[in-house]
């Protein structure tokens, strides 16, 4: 058999196994929506109809530019994905820390302004300035 025929046979076998399993588990008819793809009709917690699409694919890899492929490595792809997730989490944590520091700085500035305003108000508080004098209009 050719490489493509072997891949098609494997994809078809996995496709049918997954489709049969999900059809039995959720007791629904599962329509095929494309080559190696199907839609699973389900109800969410509120009873709204939703669809989950599942696509079965056998990746060849990346093109080399010489008419061939660098074979796909699932373990390498998993490592790359894990590293990408860690990088995103680190960026998110750094961003959260930066926002928290900015919020602390704003609060310090606000407290400082309030203190200065209270001092200025206390210095210029002459609420009794007209008690000793009579004002005429």
CA distance linking residue 64 with residue 62, whole number of Å: 6
Q: What is the pLDDT of residue 118?
A: 80
CA distance linking residue 43 with residue 17, whole number of Å: 22
Sign of the C-alpha dihedral computed for residues 107, 109, 113 and 118 taken in this order: positive
Locate tokens 């994809």: which residue?
Answer: 11
E-assigned strands of 1-137? 32-34, 37-43, 49-55, 61-63, 69-71
**Tens digit of each residue's pLDDT, the chain (137 residues):** 898 899 999 999 999 999 999 999 999 999 999 989 999 999 999 999 999 999 999 998 888 888 888 899 999 999 999 999 999 999 999 999 999 999 999 999 999 998 888 877 766 655 555 555 665 66
């Amino acid at each position: 058999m050719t490489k493509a025929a072997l891949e098609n046979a494997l994809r078809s076998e996995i496709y049918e196994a997954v489709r049969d399993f999900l059809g039995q588990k959720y007791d629904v008819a599962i329509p095929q929506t494309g080559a190696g793809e199907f839609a699973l009709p389900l109800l969410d917690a509120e009873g709204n109809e939703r669809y989950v699409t599942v696509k079965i694919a056998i990746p060849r890899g990346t093109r080399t530019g010489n008419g061939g492929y660098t074979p796909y490595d699932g373990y390498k792809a998993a490592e790359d994905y894990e590293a990408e997730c860690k990088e995103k989490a680190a960026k998110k944590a750094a961003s959260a820390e930066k926002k928290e520091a900015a919020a602390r700085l704003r609060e310090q500035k606000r407290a400082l302004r309030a203190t200065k305003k209270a001092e200025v108000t206390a210095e210029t508080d002459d609420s009794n300035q007209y008690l000793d004098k009579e004002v005429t209009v």
